[in-house]
Amino acid sequence: MPVTRTDKFGISAAITTPFTSTGAIDTDLLCKHAKSLIAKGCSSFTLGGTTGEGPHLSRDEKVAAHKALLASGIEPAQIVVGIIESALGDAIAAAKTADSFGSKYVLVTPPYYFKGSSDAGQITWFRQFLDAISDTRLQVILYHIPQVTAAPICPDMIAALIESHPAMIAGVKDSSGDWENAKTLLDRFADRHILIGDERILGAAIALGGSGAISGVANFAPDLLIPLLDGETPDQRLAPLVNALVELPVTPAVKALVGHITDSAQWSRVRAPLVELTQEQYEWITNTYDTLFATRND
């Protein structure tokens, strides 16, 4: 059965990370941005995920950012922690820190450095991780983003982890953009939070019982996503907006739009090996946004 509105996970912004001119995390701007997302209706934001350049942040930086967010008045449960680690010990340590700071959810990729790992090997890694954090209150969202990790989390793997750790697997974030895979997850795991990364299929997923999204677009247009939780028809601007984003390196493009909307060029900074958009790319994505949002949605 589809979950009811109050059962949904909601819209969690895959919060992007601002940097100072010296390359450090700008925690003041991060906290300001996080508060604005909550004020605009996001149920949470996800710290240190893909859009947040999590793999390019040191553990100390992520801990310091988390502390700053809490000190700014953000509620602990409003911070989902992204864990993108191949070393099991590092993943466990990150999870235990998240628990000590009061987070409820962690978003966890499989180990991804060695390509072509067997499903059995991935399951073993996850079970060792889950066993090690079984004394916490954490709920785990499995993160399926194979176009980045080259380490898919297939439905049978999910089923195996639910079988061994039924109280710890909260759900799955499917960022593959594969509608057939999303439908399979929605059908097989209707009692879990199935979260969608590709905003173009979010409305259809919600109609089949989807629980929400962890979304890059939510950094600058959460108002296009939140109404979908109540079954509203997708805004006609959403699909062309996402189509434009994926024509470019997505994280720099998201940061460019956040900066454009807030009139802050500081948001354009990224960490190597990512690079800022070229001037041509920047003008194209911002002009696309301006054209879309100058048109009333009838």
Residues with catalytic function: 143, 173
Report the distance separating Cα 197 and Cα 176, nearest Å: 7
Average the pLDDT over 169-186 and give the result: 98
pLDDT at 36: 98
pLDDT at 2: 41
Cis peptide before 152 (omega within 30 of 0): no
On the question of pLDDT at 151 being above 80, the answer is yes
CA distances from 24 to 20, 58, 109, 147, 260 (A): 5, 11, 25, 28, 21
190-202 confidence digits (pLDDT tens): 999 999 999 999 9
pLDDT of the residue at 295:
54
The domain spans of the chain are 10-232
What is the arithmetic mean of pLDDT over 252-269? Answer: 96
pLDDT at 298 over 90: no
Is residue 17 scored above 90 in pLDDT?
A: yes
**If you average pLDDT over residues 161-178, what whole number do you get?**
97
Instruction: Determine if residue 214 is labeled as part of a ligand binding site.
Output: yes
Q: What mean pLDDT is reported for the chain?
A: 95
Q: Between 1 and 160, name the one with better pLDDT.
A: 160
**What integer pLDDT is reported at residue 1 of this predicted model?**
38
Mean pLDDT of 254-283: 97
User: pLDDT tens digits, residue range 77-100?
Assistant: 999 999 999 999 999 999 999 999
CATH of domain 10-232: 3.20.20.70
Mean predicted confidence (pLDDT) in 24-48: 98
